[in-house]
Structure formats: structure tokens, C-alpha cells
Amino acid sequence: MATRKPAPPAFVCTECGWTTAKWVGRCGECQQWGTVSEQAAPTGILRRMTPLAPHADRAARPITQITTEDAPRRTSGVGEFDRVLGGGIVPGAAILLSGEPGVGKSTLLLEVAAQSARAGRRVLYASAEESPAQVRLRAERTGALHDELYLASETDLATILGHIDEVRPQLVIVDSVQTVSSSLSEGAAGQPSQVREVAATLIRVAKERSLPIIIVGHVTKDGQVAGPRVLEHLVDVVCHFEGDRQTSLRFIRALKNRFGPTDEVGCFEMTGGGIAEVPDPSGLFLSQGATEPGTCVAIALEGKRALPVEVQALTIPSTAPNPRRVVHGLDASRVAMVLAILEKRAGIKTSMLDVYVSTVGGVRFTEPAADLAIAVAVAGSVQLNSVPRTVAAVGELSLAGEIRPVTQAAQRRSEAARLGYEQVVDDRSKTLRAALDDVRARNTSRRPDGEIPPF
Ligand code: TYD
Ligand code: MG
């Protein structure tokens, strides 16, 4: 008896490509609602495609004969943004700027627009979220008024294309892709099919006219760009704008960059008068004033940048059956591990103490390279021993109490030297115990009885 082949799945998720034989409201793979739709049945006929002769100036050429002069970079006018883009904006580049609501995407792009306008390049800022009056008010506040900066408040894609034709800009900003809709696609703005259509059209215009386009993309609660994942494949550069609501500091990272490295980080500060670049963020994560027992500076890596980050620890006798462990900005499980290593390998007991460990300035520092600084800070708090301002500690701890080398150690060391940290306690000390002795030997602060306290 001949077995029948199973029928091909007829429904497919527009988000992730998951297929199913029956329609369901929610994708079984990516768990998105309303993204499963019917697939056109395969016709079964293999049609032949007639090859077309390529246009003379589009002929395939040996790679060695291709000049790169076609792709000169232009500065965006904002140095920290250029750094993330790999040196500037490449003509025809489609750049997606993602970030949570309120993080400052519109403020940054208004600044980029104003700087480009000042450099004599006309900019079209198509805002589908705010009225021109709202944008103008903001521009007045942040000093971004310029005659070459054109505003259009538009949610229809075709009309935005019309504005591009009329204004003939050299840079287009669309804020945001989720609020623009195309009449060629069904559904409301923001739905995956709409987002894909809008982005694909804008990208095609960018390529055809060598016109750089910056597209704002909202992110969902879990930090993904809302809309189809395919959006990130379509564009040339994906930049993510991030920052803590409680602090004014913002970072931009390139998650994807067809024109440059992805390990660069741009640093900004939100101020009353707009967004300000922070080209040297090294002082931001350090406390001011005298060194207290229980603090230690580590050198963290943000992308390619080495930044000093101060780790602070406070320990007090606990009254609770389970002593408290409160951790801010660091990895709580790594802190727990460091406390265990301190107790077992260096004889510094914290099991009867409440331990509070935090970074300064709200920065997140979850690298293993923070281990040694956490250990020195906690040991300092337990034994009332302060670390001189000129000492930084960088190292990962093994459970055996050894110090392991960290990634890009040379870079961290040279940044530490540049910033005036005369000694870096690191894996040259070999063990945690030796490192704590080393710090103690450098300690010049004495207790009232004149003794240098033991570590
Ligand atoms: P915005 O650029 O509108 O965010 P997004 O476009 O990412 O949603 O920024 C809004 C936040 O930025 C708002 O909470 C206030 C703050 N902000 C400043 O701190 N300074 C400023 O000059 C401006 C315009 C905004
Ligand atoms: Mg906005």
C-alpha cells in the first residue's frame, strides 16, 4: 500500500517562520500573537526565469578593481555617534536606532539632524510621533534650529516618499518605523507586515539614491526591536540606545555594522539642554572625596573602552537568621561566590554579616573581572582597611582562590596608567591572599593605635 505524503504546512509565522498545518492565534515558536497567516499553496510548476543582461555600469567586476571612493563617510556631527557607526555615515546606509521609550532617541537624532544641517547638508526629519510644533519646541530648547532642517509630521509612507522628492535631503530620519504605515500592506501601523514593508521601502530608496536613512525602532519589554526580526537583517547598521531611567548617562552600542566594528560604545549624558557627548567618561563611576574602607576601583570594559568603576561594600553584623545580601550594578551570583572564596581561601568571614555591594553611578559591571575588586572592597569593609586612591584591582577569581587573567588586560592596564592609577593589582599576584597582602602593603592609612590593620 502506498503511503501518502503528509500535506505541507499551510500556515506560517511572519515573525519567525514557524510552520503549522492548522491556524493558531499564537505562534508556537516565538509566542507572538496574530503573526500566523496562511501561506500561498505551492503551484507545483517550476517556472523558468529568463536571465537578464545586467546594465553596463552594474557588471560584476573583480574585487580588486572596485574602488572604495564611492563610500566616503560623512560625519554625523556627533562624535560619539560617529564612533559607533565606525567613523561616520556611509551614503546609502540604512541605520536602525533602537531603544526603550524615553531613552532619548528623538533628542539624539534631532541633534544629529541639526549638526548635519549646520554642515550644509539638508535633512528631512519625518516624525510620525510628534507634531512639527512639538519638535520645534524641543529644538528651541536644545539649540537645534536651522533652515536646512526640514520637519514633516507624517504617518503615511507614500507621503514621506513625496517629501523626500520635494525636499531633496541628504539625510533622512524617520521616527519611528512602528508608527508609519504603507497603503500597500494590510493591517495597522506597527504590525510585522507593515514594519517590514515600510523598512524595505525606505531601504530601497536609501540604496537607489545613495541617501542615508536613520530609522527609529521601538523595542519590546524584553529589549528586542518590535516588529519582525527580519528588520535587523534588512538594515546595514543596528544601534541600540540604552541607559538607566534613574541616571542621565546613556550608551549607544552597534549590534550590527556592515561598515565597521561592533564593539564601539558611544557615551552621552541627558541634560536640561539636550543630549551631551561624554568623550571621556572615566570620572563618572568614581566617588568623590577620601577613600573609605570598603571601596575599590576596578577597570571595566565597555565595548572597546576601558572605564574605571568603583565598587563599594558595606558589612554590618546581621540580626536576621539569614544575613542580607544586597547587590546593585554587579552580578549577585558572582558576589555570593566571591564571599564564599573570601571566607574559605582568605579567612575573611562574612556569613554572620549583612553585606551590601554596589557600583558608583548606577553603572552595570557584571564581568568576571569585577571579582577581585569586590573581594578587596568586602575585605576592606570587614577589616576597616582602605585602599589608596592610586590602586585599582582587576581579576577573575577561581573557586580555589587563584586570580585568573582577564580579557584585554593590557588595555585595562594602560587605561589605568593614563588615569593615574599607579598600581594595578591583578593576576600577577597569583592568589587572592597574596593580592590582599599586596593591597595591605600599599595601605598607608593607620588606625588610631598606629597599627596598620591586618587584611
Ligand atoms: P526622547 O528623545 O523623546 O526619547 P525617545 O525618542 O527615545 O522616546 O527623550 C525623552 C526623555 O529625554 C525625556 O524623559 C526627557 C529627556 N530629555 C532631557 O533630559 N533633556 C532634553 O533636552 C530633552 C529634549 C529630553
Ligand atoms: Mg521619540
Q: Is residue 115 part of a domain?
A: yes
Task: For ligand 2, an ion, list residues with CB under 5 A.
Answer: 106
Query: Ligand 1 within 6 A of 274 CB?
Result: yes
Nearest to 252 by CA among 265, 234, 261: 265
**Residues 293 and 336 placed together within one structural domain of the fold:** yes
Task: Give CA–CA dist 216/109, Å, rounded.
Answer: 9
Q: How far apart are CA 32 and CA 190, in angstroms?
A: 13
101 lines ligand 1 (CB under 6 A): yes
pLDDT-based confidence at residue 22 (cuts at 50, 70, 90)? confident
Domain membership flag for residue 371: yes
Model pLDDT, residue 448: 46
Q: Mark whether 289 and 194 lie in a shared domain.
A: no
- Cα–chain center distance at 193: 26
Based on the domain organization, do 370 and 431 belong to the same domain?
yes
Which atom of ligand 1 sits closest to the CA of residue 241? 7
Could you say which of 262, 279, 296 is where a domain stops?
A: 279
CA 175 / ligand 2 centre spacing (Å) = 7
Q: How distant, in Å, are the alpha carbons of 337, 432, 451 from that of 346?
A: 13, 7, 20
| CB 122 near ligand 1, within 6 Å | no
Domain membership flag for residue 321: yes
Q: Which of 103, 138, 214, 270 to mutate to test the pocket of ligand 1 (most atoms within 8 A of CB)?
A: 270
pLDDT at 43 over 70: no
Secondary structure of the chain as H, E, C letters: CCCCCCCCCCEEECCCCCEECCCCCECCCCCCECCEEECCCCCCCCCCCCCCCCCHHHCCCCHHHCCCCCCCCECCCCHHHHHHHCCCECCCCEEEEEECCCCCHHHHHHHHHHHHHHCCCCEEEEECCCCHHHHHHHHHHHCCCCCCEEEEECCEHHHHHHHHHHHCCCEEEEECHHHCECCCCCCCCCCHHHHHHHHHHHHHHHHHHCCCEEEEEEECCCCCECCCCHHHHHCCEEEEEEECCCCCEEEEEEEEECCCCCCCEEEEEEECCEEEECCCHHHCCCCCCCCCCCEEEEEEEECCEEEEEEEEEEEEECCCCCCCEEEECCCHHHHHHHHHHHHHHHCCCCCCEEEEEEEHHHCCCCCHHHHHHHHHHHHHHHHCCCCCCCEEECCEECCCCEEECCCCHHHHHHHHHHCCCCEEECHHHCEHHHHHHHHHHHCCCCCCCCCCCCC
Which tens digits make up the pLDDT trace of 74-84? 899 999 999 99
Residue 7 makes CB contacts below 8 A (sequence gap 6+) with 21
- Tell me which ligand sits closest to the C-alpha of residue 178: 2
Residue 449 covered by a domain: no
- Whole-prediction pTM: 0.75
Q: Are the C-beta atoms of 450 and 390 separated by less than 8 Å?
A: no
Tell the residue nearest (CA) to atom 15 of ligand 1: 102
Asked if the structure places residue 3 within a domain, the reply is no
433: containing domain: 283-442
pLDDT tens figures, 251-290: 898 989 998 888 788 889 999 888 999 888 777 777 776 6
Q: Are residues 105 and 248 in the same domain?
A: yes
Q: Are residues 145 and 186 in the same domain?
A: yes
The pLDDT value recorded for residue 376 is 95
What pLDDT score does 229 carry? 66
Ligand nearest to the CA of 130: 2
131 with 153: CB under 8 angstroms? yes
CB of 235 within 6 A of ligand 1: the answer is no
Better-predicted residue by pLDDT, 392 or 5: 392
Over range 297-310, report the average pLDDT. 86
Q: Quick one: 330 and 265 in the same domain?
A: no
The confidence band for 146, taking pLDDT boundaries of 50, 70 and 90, is very high
Q: Which long-range contacts (CB under 8 A, 24 or more apart) does 412-420 make?
A: 412/299, 412/301, 412/306, 412/369, 413/299, 414/306, 415/282, 415/299, 415/306, 415/307, 415/308, 416/299, 416/306, 416/308, 416/392, 419/282, 419/308, 420/390
Residue 448 lies in a domain: no
Among protein residues, the one whose CA lies closest to atom 11 of ligand 1: 102
pLDDT at 450: 45
Q: Is the pLDDT of residue 70 over 70?
A: no
Among the candidates 279, 309, 335, a domain finishes at 279
Report which protein residue has its CA nearest ligand 1's atom 21.
Answer: 274
Q: What CATH number is given to the structural domain containing 323?
A: 3.30.230.10
* Whether residues 94 and 174 fall in one domain: yes
Question: Percent of the chain beyond pLDDT 90?
Answer: 49
Asked whether residue 51 is domain-assigned, the answer is no
Task: Return the pLDDT at 104.
Answer: 92
Instruction: Please tell me if the CB atom of residue 106 comes closer than 6 angstroms to any atom of ligand 1.
Output: yes
Q: Is the CB of 181 under 6 A from ligand 1?
A: no
The answer on 290 and 149 residing in a single domain is no
Ligand nearest to the CA of 128: 2
Residues 140 and 271 both lie in one domain: yes
Residues 33, 82 within the same domain: no
Q: What is the number of structural domains in the chain?
A: 3
Of 103, 107, 178, 269, best ligand 1 pocket probe by most atoms within 8 Å of the beta carbon: 107
pLDDT in tens, 191-242: 888 888 999 999 999 999 999 999 999 887 665 666 656 788 899 999 999 8
* Residue 225 sits in the same domain as residue 334: no
Which residues share a beta bridge with 49? Answer: none
pLDDT at 167 > cutoff 80:
yes
356, part of any domain: yes
Quote the ligand 2 centre to 218 CA distance (angstroms): 9
- CATH assignment of the domain containing 255: 3.40.50.300
Q: Which three cell numbers stand for residue 451?
A: 597599627
pLDDT at 312 exceeding the cut of 70: yes
Going from the Cα of 245 to the center of ligand 2, the distance in angstroms, rounded, reads: 15
The pLDDT of residue 223: 58
The predicted pLDDT at position 445 comes to: 55
**39 pLDDT tier (thresholds 50, 70, 90):** confident
Say yes or no: CB of residue 243 within 6 Å of ligand 1. Answer: no
Average per-residue pLDDT for the chain:
86
Residues 214 and 93 placed together within one structural domain of the fold: yes
